[in-house]
Amino acid sequence: MIMAIPEKPDSRARRVKLTCRHDFRLIPKPPFAFDATVNKPSHFPAPTEECRPGCFWNTTLFRDHLLGLRLRNSGDTDHPSVQLSVWSEAPLPASVLDPLPQEIAFRYNLQSDLREFRRLMRGDALTRGIWRRRRGLRSSCAYSLYELLMISIVLQNATVRRTVQMLNNLLNAFGQVVAFDGRELCSFWQPGLLSRARDSRLRDLRVGYRARTLSRVSKAFARGRIDPEEWRALSNTDLKNQLLSIYGVGPASAGILMFECFHRHEVVDHIPPWERKIFAKVLYNKESVEEERIINDARGRWGDYAALALHYIFEDLFWRHSKRTIPWLSNLIRL
DNA sequence: CATCAGGGCCCTG
DNA sequence: CAGGGCCCTGAT
């Protein structure tokens, strides 16, 4: 488990209280592992979310509305059910409320059919046990594409500590502190707000050369020229090309977005250096292995589910690490 | 004190 | 298509 301290919301940020509440019930396709889907122990802690067993809170901007979300497990792996509660400042118009359950179902990939994947996992000696422990885990993202893009950008060429620092600085400067359901979380900003910020102001937030990227991406979103909901229908190749066309998005960020945001479980085109070391150890018991080899082997073993299988292996490792420290893994997590 | 790589990406030759 | 440069930070 990454032990960086999630900083408390800062007094510099504006505060807002969300008092309107709407409730929905979502029924995922079984098997569905609630905790393993909402909580990714390999991720760094973000002040925009909070996680407890059986419950998850986060803020997000959806169709220009600031929302506080709570997902609560009200079923089990084989009979899944999720209570979704949504808080907002004012009553939400139908244009936001109606598509919301679908949106959340998409973000958590609730309707994914895992039968073929299950067959592949159980047919492989390495993943059989992992499937037993984590069956029903999905690729998921609690955030919009824009929000995940901001996270991807602060991940670039940075260690965990620095990523956390950059994100917190940005959230404090441009986000809000959001109170709902008895807790306070940070929220991201509207793209337009960041697009108008001066370069020097961003530099002061210690984001370095990423200032240019953050600003250009925000401009593109503020202009409304990017419609991520349309991109969901694209083929893997077309989607990847669209993502790569975004300024500041290269192979590593495209990989994150393809998998976490768009749930493309087939696509493993790139494995970043840090993950490469971890897979080298887990899959080959070696210090380092060629990226090409890891990718080809994964495709051979898990076919169209190579990315999802690697994700299961990775998250299972971090889940076990959070229960009982795995020394070699501690050494690879560079704070 | 200096130097350097780090969970990339863009741009140039 | 290889490699330099880029902001910062902590490690050496």
Residues 133-152 of A with CB within 7 A of strand B:
152
Q: How many CA atoms lie within 13 A of A239 on its CB side?
A: 22
DSSP code string of A25-52: EE-PPSS--HHHHH--TTSPP-TTEEEE
Supply A91's token pair: 């009553």
Give this prediction's pTM. 0.96
Helix (H, G, I), strand (E, B) or coil at A109: coil
What confidence score (pLDDT) does residue A8 get? 54
Q: Which nucleotide is nearest to A275 (CA to C1')?
A: B7
Q: Calculate the average pLDDT of chain A.
A: 94
Q: What is the mean pLDDT of residues A137-166?
A: 95
HEC secondary structure over A136-195: CCCCCCCCCHHHHHHHHHHHCCCCHHHHHHHHHHHHHHHCEEEEECCEEEEECCCHHHHH
* pLDDT (tens digit per residue) in A97-122: 999 999 999 999 999 999 999 999 99
- CA at A95, C1' at B9: how many angstroms apart? 37
CATH topology of domain A145-174+190-243: Endonuclease III; domain 1 (1.10.340)
- CA at A152, C1' at C10: how many angstroms apart? 22
**CA distance linking residue A120 with residue A183, whole number of Å:** 41
Q: Which nucleotide is nearest to A256 (CA to C1')?
A: B7
Query: Chain C bases under 7 Å from protein CB?
Result: 6-11
| Nearest one of A45, A22, A70 to A182, comparing CA atoms | A70
Q: What is the mean pLDDT of residues A17-27?
A: 98
Residues 149-178 of A with CB within 7 A of strand B:
152, 155-160, 162
Burial class (CB in 10 A: 0-12, 13-18, 19+), A157: exposed
- CA at A123, C1' at C1: how many angstroms apart? 40
Contact A36, A109 (CB under 8 A): no
- CA at A205, C1' at C6: how many angstroms apart? 16
A210 in contact with nucleic chain C (CB within 7 A) = yes
Query: Chain B bases under 7 Å from protein CB?
Result: 6-10
Q: What is the mean pLDDT of residues A239-261?
A: 96
Say whether pLDDT at A158 is over 60: yes
- CA at A93, C1' at C6: how many angstroms apart? 45
**CA distance linking residue A90 with residue A88, whole number of Å:** 6
Instruction: Please report where in the chains the tokens 């029903």 appear, as a residue.
Output: A136
Residues 42-71 of A with CB within 7 A of strand B:
42-44
Say whether pLDDT at A6 is over 80: no
A165 in contact with nucleic chain C (CB within 7 A) = yes
- CA at A275, C1' at B5: how many angstroms apart? 17
| Nearest one of A48, A250, A37 to A152, comparing CA atoms | A250
Q: What is the DSSP-derived secondary structure letter of residue A260? A: I
Supply A151's token pair: 């996270």
What confidence score (pLDDT) does residue A5 get? 41
What confidence score (pLDDT) does residue A11 get? 59
* pLDDT (tens digit per residue) in A251-287: 999 999 999 999 999 999 999 988 999 999 999 999 8
Contact A317, A332 (CB under 8 A): no
Contact A139, A311 (CB under 8 A): yes
**CA distance linking residue A144 with residue A307, whole number of Å:** 21
Residues 249-308 of A with CB within 7 A of strand C:
none
Q: Which nucleotide is nearest to A169 (CA to C1')?
A: C8
A209 in contact with nucleic chain C (CB within 7 A) = yes
What confidence score (pLDDT) does residue A334 get? 76
| Nearest one of A269, A268, A288, A270 to A278, comparing CA atoms | A288
- CA at A124, C1' at C1: how many angstroms apart? 38
- CA at A270, C1' at C10: how many angstroms apart? 27
Say whether pLDDT at A332 is over 60: yes
